[in-house]
Each structure stands twice: as C-alpha cells, then as structure tokens.
Amino acid sequence: MAPHARDAARTSPVDSLVTRHRLRPLELLPWVLVIPPYWLFDTYLPLGSEILIMVLFALSLDLILGYAGIVTLGHAAFFGLGAYTAGILAANGWGEPISGLAAAAAVAGATGYVTGRIILRAHGLTLLMMTLVIVLALNEAANRMGWLTGGADGLSGIEMWPLLGLFRFDLYGRTGYVYAAAVLFVAWIFVRRIVHSPFGRSLTGIRENVTRMHAIGVPVRTRQVTIYAIAAVLAGIAGGLLAQTTQSVALTVMTFERSGAILIMLVLGGVGRLYGAFVGVPAYMIAQDNLARLDPVYWYFWVGLMLVVVVLFARGGILGIVDRARDLVVRRRP
C-alpha cells in the first residue's frame, strides 16, 4: 500500500489506480538472484530447483489464500496430482517434459474445478475440513493404487526425455534448475497479470468483504471456483516439475504436512502480495536445510519457533517487516 500512497501525491487519483500494474524495478530482483547460483553453488542446484518449485507452489496458494481469502489445508492435493500425472506418464514411456507438465496441469486443474464447485459452497471451518479431507483421501487412494503409483515405495522408473529434444536432465541438476526457473518465470508473468486484472481486483474484494460483493452483483462463487481451479493448475505444474526434475514421486507429495508447510512458507514471506512466495520459501527452506544439519533432532522445533516469532511480531511476514522498516525511514526523512 505504502508505495501507492506516496506516488499519489504526484499523480491524480485516477492515474494512480490506472497505472498500478506498472512493473517496479524491485520486482525484477528475484530474476536477477536466480541466475548466479547456476555457476556459484552448482552442488546446490537440486536444492535450488526444489526452492523454485516450491515458490511456484506457494505462488499458486497465494492466489487463493492471499487474494481470494480461501484458507485451505489441502492444496498439496493438486501438487501431488500433478506430480503423479507427470511421473506416471514418464514411467510408462512418455518422458517428454513439456507435454507432461501440460497433462499435470490439466489433471490438477480439472480436479480443482470439480472439487472447488462442491466445497466452495461451504465456509470457514467446514471448508477447511473439506480441503483437508480431499488431500487425505487422494493420499490414501495413491497409497492403495500401488500398481499405478508405486504406493508407499514411491513411483520408480521415471525416465525423462531431453528438454525440447536438446537438453538432457543431467546428474547435477543444471537442466532441471533452468527448466524450473523458466517455468516459474512464465507462471509469474501469468499470475501477475491475473492479480492486476479486474478479475484479480475482484478477488481482493471477495477477501475484504463477501457480503458487499454479493450486494454489488458479483457472482462470488463463480469467481472463487475459477481462481481455485487456476491455483490448482499452477500447483499441478509445480508438482509435475518436482516429479520430472527429481525423477521420483513419493506419497509425501500429497500430504497434509506439505499443505501445511507451504502455508507456513507463504505466511512467513507475506500473504497476498505476490512476492511473499519468493521470500518465504527460500527463507524457510534454507533455514530448514541449515537447522537440520546443526540440530538434526530438534530442527523442527527451531522452524516452529521462527514461525511463532513471525506471526506474533511481524504480521504480514518478512515483507511486512520490510514495509514497516521502509515506512519508518521514509517518515523520518522530512
């Protein structure tokens, strides 16, 4: 909010609203930061790919949680569906990556649309429980259908074809990293466009006050189902990417824990601001990686503590802290 308020002094109110979608230089920062690891930390590229994939997953969650205000504990259902779709295709002789992602997106999106139509009639706790039930049920289904999914042993035998027919998925994860970064980049452009579209603005309205949205003639449910399905598509792509770059799929792709973890990462970064995913996911995953090494037994405790601190003292997550720090500096300066 703050930057718009400051610009306002210079431009007319109409202009400031009409130009709000313009790209600010800072928005390109993640894309600058994504490049050096390719050369500098090449032993960490698999972790890097996973971070990029989880950023995409968190970004998809931000659309429904941060913008539309739908709280879900089942978002990993779509991540998992995407992972299994891409994984199963590749394990059964179709290892072409891009079409595999498209299939992952389609399956996750269709499931998101259908389940969204059903569960988004509910609100609050009921809705939360329903999202939870969906991820638990799908996890159990994947567990039971061992012939297709590999069950508890995980899916094996995934063989990816070279990306675009040119780049092999190498042992160091170079191709995987660039692939994940490219997909995330395209997804970011898409999500950013949605967020700044009239449709995206209306989602914010739904989050702010559903009662009023009904009273100004908004087909609230249709909008919610639409964004829920779009978020499912993106989550499915993220899951598909994970399956393709790690060439494995385990039941853990589709658990309540993963749904919870991504929620935590997003809250840590900041909800409803597009870039919370880009900040929260690396912060969480790098912290987790280090804490797990420093304190193999209690690392989860430290992760929990970090979250408690953020929630108690920094509403709006890390980006919220940055905002407030900047406001302080700006206000001090006369």
Residues of the shown chain interacting with another protein in the complex, contacts defined by CB under 8 A: 1, 4-5, 8, 13-14, 16-21, 193-194, 196-202, 204-205, 208-209, 211-220, 223, 226
Minimum CB separation of residue 230 from another protein in Å reads 9
Give me the residues paired with residue 163 across strands: 167
Number of Cβ within 10 Å of residue 11's Cβ equals 13
Closest of 31, 59, 27, 28 to residue 277, by C-alpha: 59
Q: How far is the CB of 217 from another protein (least distance, A)?
A: 3
- Closer of 1 and 125 to another protein (Cβ): 1
Residue 296 main-chain phi, psi, to 5 deg: -60, -25
- Least separation in angstroms between residue 207's CB and another protein is 9
CB of 106 to another protein, least distance (A): 18
CB of 154 to another protein, least distance (A): 37
On whether the CB atoms of residues 247 and 9 are closer than 8 A, the answer is no
Provide the 8-state DSSP code for 207.
H
CB of 15 to another protein, least distance (A): 9
Q: Pick between residue 208 and residue 295 the one whose CB is nearest to another protein.
A: 208
**Token duo for residue 313:** 């003292």
Q: Report how far residue 143's alpha carbon sits from residue 244's, in angstroms, rounded to the nearest whole number.
A: 20
Alpha-carbon span 19 to 68, nearest angstrom: 22
Q: DSSP letters of 38-84? A: HHHTGGGHHHHHHHHHHHHHHHHHHIIIIIS----S-THHHHHHHHH
Residue 254's Cβ-side half-sphere holds a number of Cα atoms within 13 Å equal to 33
Instruction: Give SS3 for 156.
Output: coil
Round to the nearest angstrom and report the end-to-end CA distance of the chain: 20
Nearest distance in Å: CB 213, another protein: 8
Q: CB–CB of 173/46 below 8 Å?
A: yes
19 or 290, CB closer to another protein?
A: 19
The residue (of 185 and 199) whose beta carbon lies closer to another protein is: 199
Q: Beta partners for 155?
A: 249
Q: How far is the CB of 195 from another protein (least distance, A)?
A: 10
